[in-house]
Amino acid sequence: MGMTMTQKILANAAGLPEVKAGQLIMANLNLVLGNDITSPVAIHEMDKMKVDGVFDKDKIALVPDHFVPNKDIKSAEHCRCVREFARKNDITNYFEVGEMGIEHALLPERGLTVPGDVIIGADSHTCTYGALGAFSTGVGSTDMAAGMATGQAWFKVPSAIKFNIVGKKAKDISGKDVILHIIGMIGVDGALYRSMEFVGDGIKELTMDDRFTIANMAIEAGGKNGIFPVDDLTISYLNAHTERDYRIFEADADAEYDEEYTIDLSKLRPTIAFPHLPENTHTIDEIHDNGDIKIDQVVIGSCTNGRMDDLRIAAEVLKGRHVAKGLRLIVIPATQKIYLKAMEEGLLKIFIEAGGVVSTPTCGPCLGGYMGVLAEGEKCVSTTNRNFVGRMGHINSEIYLASPAVAAASAVRGEISAPEDLW
């Protein structure tokens, strides 16, 4: 029996001719990632190991992005810990305030993630880089510490689910609608410790930003990783962002999959995940059929939807319009480069004239940290990735996950809406 994309990458990293689902392997790592919340724990674990430095200063990325600029003394101390570790070990890819961004947007932008890589990160959304044909997955801080020290990590080789993407998508349908539809279909544990492998002619309908969004939320279906084949669009993106050599792996024709699903893009409608799980999805038509849902806040940003396509889509909806009276709109470009590009294109002017605020890159609102915390009873439409109880603030607040198009339209109307509701 042949191997999937993920299995081929892991076999290569383990120096094995083949691997099978369920097999335990030790794999060499191309990149180890940490942020300002998870890295301090890993650093303290490394202190206990009494190791002499890191395995490779060029293959570690440290990105303070959750509580920066620092929101309080504790977050400042965490960032200082990371900063001092980076200085002590001469870490090449440490990103200070002013050059940092949300980690999962920043690393591809900086050309640090390429096809065939094996990447671990002490952040669950490390699975984002599967959009580039890499195997990337989230780990705990202890595994991050071991990875920084040894350059290796152990894995149980995952089995796989194949998602055949077909058809042409409508204008207002994005990668967020695709992945919310899938999670609603299979559930938050539907891909538990399995590789979600996206294939099919419909992939050409998806931009790189769409693919990053889909791979990013593989973990919301329980997936070990999400991964796309490398095509001309991927190669064009890589040519623009990196000079690294890379190796492309393709699934064998006889690769084994636990399940197969077909996703027809032409049949998708704007999709929203209701509280308090990403699987609790409803289309915009179902929402309209059951009455309006008034909201208090909209957040457009995060590692899921803070890239250029996302900001352009939101700006197109908001241009010449104003947010509903009493509603708060927070827009967060994912990196400094994206922030600057959005400024040059006039997008920030559109957001501000529409009554929104624009923040420096941060994960703050997504995890209820700062820059958008919800009070009791408040409802928020967010382009982030999780809507668990208390995720963005008070345990009695509510989060509705949606695409940038839906988020922007909802900000204008003050209730959950799609762009079609504005025309």
> DSSP string spanning 360-388?
-S--TTTTTSSSSPBPTT-EEEESSS---
Beta pairing partners, 116:
none
Using only the alpha carbons of the chain, give its radius of gyration: 21
Beta-carbon neighbour count of residue 267 at 10 Å? 12
- pLDDT score for 423: 80
Backbone angles phi, psi at 36, to 5 degrees: -75, -15
- pLDDT score for 289: 85
Q: Who's near 140: CB < 8 A, 6+ residues apart?
A: 122
The helix (H) or strand (E) run that includes residue 355 is none
Please check whether residue 329 is in contact with residue 300, taking contact to mean a CB–CB distance below 8 angstroms: yes
Determine the average pLDDT of the residues in 357-366.
Answer: 94
Q: What is the rounded distance in angstroms from the CA atom of residue 301 to the CA atom of residue 104?
A: 12
- pLDDT score for 342: 98
Q: What is the rounded distance in angstroms from the CA atom of residue 255 to the CA atom of residue 208?
A: 25
Q: Who's near 235: CB < 8 A, 6+ residues apart?
A: none
Residue owning tokens 């309006």: 292
Residue owning tokens 């064998």: 252
DSSP, res 2: B
Q: How many helices (H) and strands (E) does the chain have?
A: 14, 18
pLDDT, mean over the chain: 96
Determine the average pLDDT of the residues in 126-143.
Answer: 97
Q: What is the rounded distance in angstroms from the CA atom of residue 136 to the CA atom of residue 130?
A: 6
pLDDT-based confidence at 162, cuts 50/70/90? very high
Cβ-in-10-Å burial (0-12, 13-18, 19+) of 142 comes to: middle
Per-residue pLDDT tens digits for 28-70? 999 999 999 999 999 999 989 888 899 999 999 999 999 989 9
Q: What is the rounded distance in angstroms from the CA atom of residue 93 to the CA atom of residue 346?
A: 30
Instruction: Give CB contacts under 8 A, 24+ apart, made by 46-49.
Output: 46/145, 46/148, 46/149, 49/145, 49/149
Report how far apart, in Å, the C-alpha atoms of 401 and of each of 161, 294, 363, 388, 392 are.
Answer: 24, 14, 15, 11, 12
Q: What is the rounded distance in angstroms from the CA atom of residue 416 to the CA atom of residue 400?
A: 9
Amino acid (1-letter code) at residue 159: S
Collapsing DSSP states into helix, strand and coil, what is residue 373? Answer: coil
Q: What is the rounded distance in angstroms from the CA atom of residue 226 to the CA atom of residue 168?
A: 21
Report the DSSP pairing between strands 31-35 and 24-28.
unpaired
Per-residue pLDDT tens digits for 242-262? 999 999 999 999 999 999 999
Which tokens is 317 given? 């909806």
For the chain, give percent helix, strand, coil, nearest 5: 35, 20, 45
N- to C-terminal Cα distance for the chain? 53
DSSP, res 139: -
DSSP, res 345: T
Residue 422 has pLDDT above 90, yes or no: no
Amino acid (1-letter code) at residue 320: G
CA atoms lying within 13 Å on the CB side of residue 408: 29
Task: Show the domains of the chain with their CATH numbers.
Answer: 5-264 (3.30.499.10), 271-418 (3.30.499.10)
Share of the chain above pLDDT 70, in %: 100
In this prediction the pTM is 0.95
Determine the average pLDDT of the residues in 68-75.
Answer: 92
- pLDDT score for 139: 96
Residue 1 has pLDDT above 80, yes or no: no
